[in-house]
Structure 1
């Protein structure tokens, strides 16, 4: 199982900077990250492509960020991440030679250029080609695409629920080719951004929370405390960042997920107009 295309820059509106620490902040809202990326873009675009200048500027940005530490201290956040196009719809490395016009300035960030060149996102191995193409088609913007393509459990969990709803396998190519179903799938995936009433948990990102060393560890639901049993929706509920304190909160989150899955299934089974 592996993906046949480049997950970071697949085109058609999708791009990802998660491995550069894009979402590694307590406030990783679209608004806040757009502001952060805009600042980094404007800062480096104004500089000549000189290694010493870029390195000093990167250090300065990292120093300024100490007032807002990353959510997972063990995961590096690179200040070279920014918008690659004038419309600010695509994210990527501002120091990449294809962006600078030939000069490789990636060593000025928090990673060596060699590591950047050879790193392969785990999603590349864990997702199928069809699953990755579905995410690309349904999440054609930099913010949502990155949130979803890097969360394999979320993608698999959503598709597993859809299979249960349909009582059989899902034809992902047919889903991508069905505008109504694809729009409904986007709304399901977009719960990563839009799901309400997730609380203000200080150290939760999707299914993960930092341990004592700052490493991401997977969260689980304590069914004994909640007075509940397991349900098919629970993996997706956790991936959405819910940390319910009561059974009622858990049931509301489950119902939200089920409703969105049902809409996708209905769009797939409705006769063509």
Structure 2
């Protein structure tokens, strides 16, 4: 399984800055990240294109940051910003394709050599069809980045859909039908829209943080909750739910189930 296109800048309205630490905050809402990106973009756009000036600007941006990263080992680069003037495309403002030829990536928290050689795990873990479906359904920087980097979420959603259909869920068919693609977007958009999640919980999707600040996978305590496992639970965890009683868990399962059924009905119509 290898994706045949560039996941960071695939076009069609999608772009991603997750490898630069974009979502690595407890509050990684669209509003919070838009504000941070806008601040970094404004500061760097008025900075002369030389390493000394950009290094100083990067240090200032890091010092002025309001929140600390959720996982300290994952660095959050201050060179990340909006590379277009409409605020729709996220990318590295120090990349030579953005600056017009000058490579200023060494002024960030990663060396340019690291940026050049890094490969997103999703590139090898998603099929080409799965990745293209995410690109088509999540055609904006915020949602696309959240979904394309959560392989378990994408796989689990499609697995539930296949169980509902009683057969394969074909990405090419879903992409070819706008009414179906709209239901897929609503399913994937639960990463942003799912209600009643505990905003105080120190979790990022399926991961929580250990005492040293490292990401660790979360699991549901079925004995404590007094319920059996269900097929929807992988998605429930990926959405960041932290159910403390059976009612919360059942409600989150039903939310997922209803969105999967909506895709299935659209495909059958």
Q: What's the TM-score, normalizing by structure 1?
A: 0.97
Pairing 1:8–2:11 present:
no
Deviations 1:59-88 (A, max 9, x none): 1111222x4211111110000000010111
Q: In 2, are the aligned partners of 1:75 and 1:215 still within 8 Å (CA)?
A: no
Q: 3-state SS of the aligned residue for 1:232?
A: coil
The offset of 1:170, in angstroms, is 1.0
The offset of 1:202, in angstroms, is 3.3
Deviations 1:106-150 (A, max 9, x none): 000000000001100000000000000000000000000000000
> Distance in 2 between the 1:85 and 1:223 partners?
47
Pairing 1:152–2:142 present:
no
Q: 3-state SS of the aligned residue for 1:250?
A: helix
The offset of 1:169, in angstroms, is 0.7
Moved more, 209-218 or 169-178: 209-218
Aligned position for 2:229: 230
Q: In 2, are the aligned partners of 1:95 and 1:104 still within 8 Å (CA)?
A: yes
Q: In 2, are the aligned partners of 1:74 and 1:213 still within 8 Å (CA)?
A: no
Aligned position for 2:78: 79
Pairing 1:173–2:193 present:
no
> Distance in 2 between the 1:213 and 1:97 partners?
36
> Distance in 1 between the 2:44 and 2:63 partners?
16
> Distance in 1 between the 2:205 and 2:118 partners?
23
| RMSD of equivalent CA atoms | 0.7
Pairing 1:38–2:51 present:
no
Deviations 1:219-240 (A, max 9, x none): 0000000001000000000000
Q: 3-state SS of the aligned residue for 2:208?
A: strand
Pairing 1:23–2:31 present:
no
> Distance in 1 between the 2:35 and 2:57 partners?
18
Aligned position for 1:205: 204
Q: In 1, are the aligned partners of 2:94 and 2:103 still within 8 Å (CA)?
A: yes
Q: In 1, are the aligned partners of 2:47 and 2:57 still within 8 Å (CA)?
A: no
> Distance in 2 between the 1:141 and 1:6 partners?
15
> Distance in 1 between the 2:251 and 2:150 partners?
22
Q: 3-state SS of the aligned residue for 2:203?
A: coil
Aligned position for 1:120: 119
Q: In 1, are the aligned partners of 2:41 and 2:81 still within 8 Å (CA)?
A: yes
Moved more, 135-144 or 200-209: 200-209
The offset of 1:23, in angstroms, is 0.5
Aligned position for 2:266: 267
> Distance in 2 between the 1:12 and 1:163 partners?
27
Q: 3-state SS of the aligned residue for 2:47?
A: coil
> Distance in 1 between the 2:64 and 2:30 partners?
21
Q: 3-state SS of the aligned residue for 1:213?
A: coil
Aligned position for 1:248: 247
Q: 3-state SS of the aligned residue for 1:56?
A: helix
Structure 2, gaps ≥5 residues long: none
The offset of 1:56, in angstroms, is 1.1
> Distance in 2 between the 1:52 and 1:30 partners?
31
The offset of 1:104, in angstroms, is 0.2
Aligned position for 1:191: 190
The offset of 1:213, in angstroms, is 2.0
Q: 3-state SS of the aligned residue for 2:204?
A: coil
Aligned position for 1:50: 50
